[in-house]
Amino acid sequence: MAFKHILLHLDATEHCAKRVKIALDLAKKGDGVISAIFCQTNPQLSAIVGTHPVDDTLRKLSAEAEDSFMAAAKDAGVTAQVSNTLCTSHAQVVQAVTWATRTSDIAILGQYDWSTNYSGIPSDLAENVILHSGRPVLVVPFAGEFKTVGQRCLIAWNGGRESARALNDAIPMMKDAKMVEVFAIQKEGVKRPSEKELVVHLEKYGIPCKTAHDRRDKVSITDLLLSHAADEGSDLIVMGAHGHYGVSHMLKGGNTREILKHMTVPVLMSH
């Protein structure tokens, strides 16, 4: 079992090279193929309405990113193809990347860098693709270097549908893991499949597991999860996205949005 078709989002940010490397490593591991798509707006123009035409500035950014990716793929010996969707609004970017993701095994996107507030990419791109593509999304932080991804996995488990979806979507990345920890964060009185039942499931794939359990109390799930990942030296967090429903929850953003803002290691999310 491996990811055979990987969708990689390219853009003109300095962080793009980081996720290119991760995508190439993942493709080599599973003898997979990468479909890369350069998709963004012109960072010098407004992307709210998008009535202006695509100009040569954006075409040049696209050509540079595409050439750089194909050279890296050739050096790595990975089969790859690249295309572009040059957009004039952020809504177009979200739609194009979401649609491309639906015909892949997994998508690799970058975390939005709020410190630069790059206007060529919508800040909620990753969240929208996770919610609407129907595929798992690996989000790579803009800060830090990640020599390995998936050697030490931390599964955020609450026994819900989204957690189960993310867990099983991540199995191809965990097959060769040195250690997988199931970190159960559950409210008292909630009856759902336990972390012990999950270990039995993963053992059928030959995946080594251990468990840990914690309660929220007054600490946020984001702080609890990222702190535990740092303590364990995790290089991948696996979690379900938006496991609660309703307009008020979506407006607040919940744990999904907080993790996407403050993540310190790559996170695989599914909805």
Per-domain boundaries in the chain: 5-140, 152-270
Instruction: Please list the alpha-helical segments (H only) found in 84-214.
Output: 90-101, 125-132, 161-169, 171-174, 195-203
The distance of Cα 18 from the centroid of its chain, to the nearest Å, equals 13
Q: Which two tokens stand for residue 224?
A: 């609890």
DSSP code at position 217: T
Name beta bridge partners: 212: 183
270 alpha-carbon distance from chain centroid? 9
- pLDDT score of 249 more than 50: no
Query: What pTM, to 2 d.p., does this model score?
Result: 0.93
In the predicted structure, residue 245 carries a pLDDT above the cut 60: no
CA dist 196 and 184 (Å) reads 10
In the three-class reduction of DSSP (H, G, I as helix; E, B as strand; rest coil), residue 182 is classed as: strand
Confidence of residue 165 (pLDDT cuts 50, 70, 90): very high
On the question of a common fold for 5-140 and 152-270, the answer reads: yes
**Between residues 106 and 208, the one the model is more confident about:** 106
| Average pLDDT rounded to a whole number, residues 125-138 | 97
CATH number for the domain formed by residue range(s) 152-270: 3.40.50.620
Give me the CATH code for the 5-140 domain, please: 3.40.50.620
